[in-house]
Amino acid sequence: MNRDYAKRLDDLREKLSGFGKENLHDILHFIGVGMEEIFGFKRCRIYLEDLTEGLLICAYAMGEMKSELQGTSIFILPQTSLVARAFVDRRLYWTWKNPEAKKMFNKELASKFNIKEMAAIPIIHNGKSIGVITVDSSKEGEIADKETFETVKDFIVSVSHSIDRAKRFHQHLKFSKKVDEAKIGEAASQMMRSAVKIVGKLTLASVLIPNEEKSPLPPFNKGGDNRGDYMKILATYSSKFEDKDIYEDRHRVDIIKGESLIE
């Protein structure tokens, strides 16, 4: 290994070891920074397995179109994606001078994000894949030699404990939130059923709570604030199925002046 690589990778390992399980973004960020500063890679994506969704989700991206790439997901189907293939096989793959790998290249994603060549490096912890790091290029041809990528792969294995610990913590929080949301939804449904029994000739009813974040659905927050412009719909009842569907398809009710009866 290049001595300069070795010293700088040791420094990066030491930095990463100082982060706790709650610092997933920081861990991924400094790995991405290391890919650029140590190896000169300008673009990379870091996918982590999401056990709650059964997908590989891009938890971090660096370089061109990074904000659009972050949060995208890939099904773990090795026949359709080089990223998924690297994850399942626990092998390093690259596209240049490699017709078989080129066949697994996700052409739709490559076209959308201007990726001409890529290498997919599995993140392996205790013999099991937990994610994949890709190194991308908008130019055709070799990104780096095999020895360099083997060095990257060995480095990733050496810091995989920190990644796995933070990933598990992050996904535990995500799962707990889903469980809490399910409990709230069930409580709202019970409240709705009680109201229907108590109130005679009820035509339409819903359980609404203040929405805590900016709406991800159009028309977003026309009032200009990050919260308070919408009510989230938890449960609905209608004597007519078509009216119930209208509520449930909307997800939220606008409470800006002049937009609804409850403003």
Residues 205 and 195: beta-carbon distance below 8 Å: yes
Q: What is the pLDDT of residue 173?
A: 76
Q: What is the pLDDT of residue 82?
A: 93
In this structure, the strands spanning 73-75 and 55-62 are antiparallel
Block residue for tokens 């201007």: 114
Q: Supply the pTM of this predicted model.
A: 0.67
Q: Which option is the CATH number for 3-169: 3.40.50.150, 3.30.450.40, 1.10.10.10, 3.40.1350.10?
A: 3.30.450.40
CA atoms within a 13 Å half-sphere pointing along the CA-CB vector of 190:
6
User: How far is the C-alpha of 28 from the C-alpha of 35, rounded, in Å?
Assistant: 11
Which residues have CB under 8 Å from 114's CB, separation 6+? 64, 65, 138
In this structure, the strands spanning 128-137 and 117-125 are antiparallel
Q: What is the pLDDT of residue 219?
A: 40
Which residues have CB under 8 Å from 124's CB, separation 6+? 90, 130, 156, 157, 160
In this structure, the strands spanning 128-137 and 43-50 are antiparallel
DSSP, res 131: E
User: How far is the C-alpha of 6 from the C-alpha of 93, rounded, in Å?
Assistant: 23
Peptide bond into 99 cis (omega under 30): no
Burial class (CB in 10 A: 0-12, 13-18, 19+), 100: exposed
User: How far is the C-alpha of 121 from the C-alpha of 93, rounded, in Å?
Assistant: 7
Per-residue pLDDT of the chain (263 residues; tens, 9 = 90+): 455 677 888 899 999 988 998 999 999 999 998 898 888 899 999 999 988 778 999 999 999 889 999 999 999 988 879 999 999 999 999 999 888 888 888 888 888 899 999 999 999 999 999 999 999 999 999 999 988 988 898 899 999 999 999 998 888 777 666 666 667 777 777 777 766 666 666 666 777 776 655 444 444 333 444 444 667 777 777 766 666 665 555 555 555 455 544 54
Domain spans in the chain, listed from the N-terminal domain onward: 3-169, 199-254
Q: Which tokens belong to 178?
A: 């889903």
Nearest to 137 by CA among 47, 44, 55, 72: 44
Nearest to 134 by CA among 58, 21, 27: 58
